């Protein structure tokens, strides 16, 4: 195979791999006119403060742009699967596109995303909602939340130590190990 053939094959493979997390073409990022954060942080019954306190999870406009760029559509069954990682935290935003289309998007730090098309009053239209997964979003958000995860570990371990479930001084030792593990790439 020639060098040109190898180069073309490499470019084709890269393009195919990149499209694995290509955005939904119905909601192109270049067509976004306005993003409004409706609910920067909310919690559900799934919230586990031992893992992550939802008050530490704040949805930003940059998070929404990142999601629109990388989210990939999944089935409703996959979205609600018992095997799906959840934190119980999410944020919501409305996105207005140049063509007048409005979507409401809910984003969790785990990369679970749901959307529905809405009217100007942010009420759902007849178009059914869609469900997405965004692994690049999860990696990005969880990296940003590393400090919050460290604080949650500290709360959990100090509580166990106070209850006598672990020996005195053990919380600090375990916390150092957890933080070192989290800091590794």
Which regions of 98-185 does DSSP assign to beta strands (E)? 102-107, 112-118, 130-133
**pLDDT tens-digit readout, 91-118:** 999 999 999 999 999 999 889 999 999 9
pLDDT of residue 44: 80
pLDDT of residue 20: 46
Of 61, 62, 57, 60, the C-alpha closest to 46 is: 57
**Residues of the chain whose pLDDT is less than 50?**
4-21
| Sheet of strand 130-133, all strands in order from the earlier edge strand to the far edge | 32-43, 89-97, 102-107, 112-118, 130-133, 72-74
CA angle 135, 87, 131 (to 5 degrees): 50
pLDDT of residue 7: 41
Across-strand partners of 6? none
pLDDT of residue 22: 54
Is pTM beyond 0.75 here? no
- Do 93 and 66 touch, CB atoms closer than 8 A? no
């Amino acid at each position: 195979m020639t060098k040109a053939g190898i180069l073309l094959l490499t470019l084709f493979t890269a393009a195919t791999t990149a499209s694995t997390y290509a955005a939904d073409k119905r909601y192109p990022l270049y067509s976004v006119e306005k993003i409004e954060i409706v609910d920067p942080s909310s919690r559900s019954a799934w919230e586990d403060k031992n893992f992550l306190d939802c008050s530490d999870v704040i949805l930003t406009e940059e998070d929404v742009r990142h999601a629109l760029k990388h989210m990939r559509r999944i089935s409703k069954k996959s979205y609600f699967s018992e095997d799906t990682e959840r934190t119980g935290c999410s944020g919501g935003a409305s996105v207005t596109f140049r063509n007048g289309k409005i979507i409401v998007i809910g984003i969790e730090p785990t990369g679970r995303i749901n959307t529905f098309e809405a009217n100007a009053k942010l009420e759902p239209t007849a178009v059914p909602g869609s469900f997405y997964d965004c692994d690049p979003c999860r990696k990005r958000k969880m990296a940003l939340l590393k400090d919050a995860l460290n604080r949650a570990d500290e709360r959990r371990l100090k509580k166990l130590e106070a209850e006598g479930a672990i020996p005195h001084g053990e919380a600090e030792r375990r916390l150092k190990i957890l933080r070192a593990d989290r800091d590794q790439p």
